[in-house]
A = this chain, B = another copy of it.
Amino acid sequence: MKENDNTAVLLIHCPDKAGILAAVTEFINQHKGNILYLDQYVNREEKVFFMRVEWDLTAFQIPKEKIEEYFQTLLAIRYDMNFRLYFADTKPRMAIFVSKMSHCLYDLLARYASGEWRVEIPLVISNHPDMKPVAERFGIEYHYIPITKENKEEQEAKQLELLKEHNITFCVLARYMQILSPQLISNYPNKIINIHHSFLPAFAGAKPYHAAHERGVKIIGATSHYVTGELDAGPIIEQDVTHISHKDTVDELIKKGRDLEKIVLSHAVEKHIDRKILTYKNRTIVFQ
């Protein structure tokens, strides 16, 4: 089936008040928009309203380039809304960062190549040359930018330049074994997705499978999250786990973990591409 790409998505959060849901749906309905998906959530403790609505623009009477302004004027001001508007035909542009492991990279590129996602992936950046053949297999630019303590600042500047050149809207760290500097992160707030190979907050930092084996846990996990200044502490998007036993060596944990990592990362990337995620106070709201 051909998916409809003449749609708009609104992501909204604002103080909870009576009537917001009605006001937003009426805004769309009365101008002949056809609502395709609607999911809302009210955080009762903090009295905040969150909403994602996607509607068909085919018969919508407000021109695309005017929707933001109209929504701002007619609704956002009245309800003190924080909102973002996206169009399905404007594809996000994604850069992949990778080091030496291929499993996440392959999973991302296979989905991309098969047309599963509405995204553009113009480049792969790596601190190692190893994954170049993989990127080339899929016809994607590969930039080898080795990083040492000494050259980190200038190499990150190069990375940033590449990201700007290619109009990258979000980054995916597909087992990229370097800690990004606060400067780089600040350019992509809640727009850098990392996969960490543990069920965070357990085993943050280096060598989580070794730590899991040492601790003798009976499950291992993987966590995708947005990168913030604090290591492995950003808003969690998705987690999954698998059962292990005393028989599993560290190598077997690493192997079992690979399948978790790639699926958990790809699911997070997909939700980001589909504009289904809002972040609020270091947590994510993931709409359906």
A interface residues (Cβ-Cβ under 8 A, vs B): 1, 18-19, 21-23, 25-26, 29, 34-36, 38, 40-42, 44-45, 102-103, 106-107, 110, 113-114, 116, 134, 137-138, 199-203, 215-219, 221, 235-241, 243, 245-247, 249, 251, 255, 259, 263, 266-267, 282-286, 288
Contact = CB atoms under 8 A, between A and B. Distances in A.
Nearest to A20: B25
Contact of A137 (B22, B137, B284): B137
Nearest to A258: B116
A19 B249 CA distance: 23
Contact of A22 (B22, B138, B263): B22
Given A21-B22, A219-B221, A286 B245 contact: yes
Contacts of A288: 247
The 5 A-B pairs of least Cβ separation, nearest first, read A216-B283, A106-B110, A202-B202, A22-B22, A18-B29
A282 B216 contact: yes
A247 to B, nearest CB: 6
B103 A41 contact: no
14 contacts: A102-B110, A102-B113, A106-B113, A137-B137, A199-B199, A199-B202, A199-B221, A199-B241, A200-B202, A216-B282, A216-B284, A243-B243, A247-B288, A259-B267
A116 B257 CA distance: 13
A26 to B, nearest CB: 5
Nearest to A37: B42
A63 B134 CA distance: 41
B41 A247 contact: yes
Contacts of A266: 259
B203 A201 contact: yes
A45 B249 contact: yes
A240 to B, nearest CB: 7
A286 B247 CA distance: 9
Nearest to A19: B29
Contacts of A216: 235-236, 282-284
A199 B149 CA distance: 36
A42 B39 CA distance: 11
B44 A36 contact: yes
Contacts of A237: 218
Contact of A26 (B19, B40, B201, B235): B19
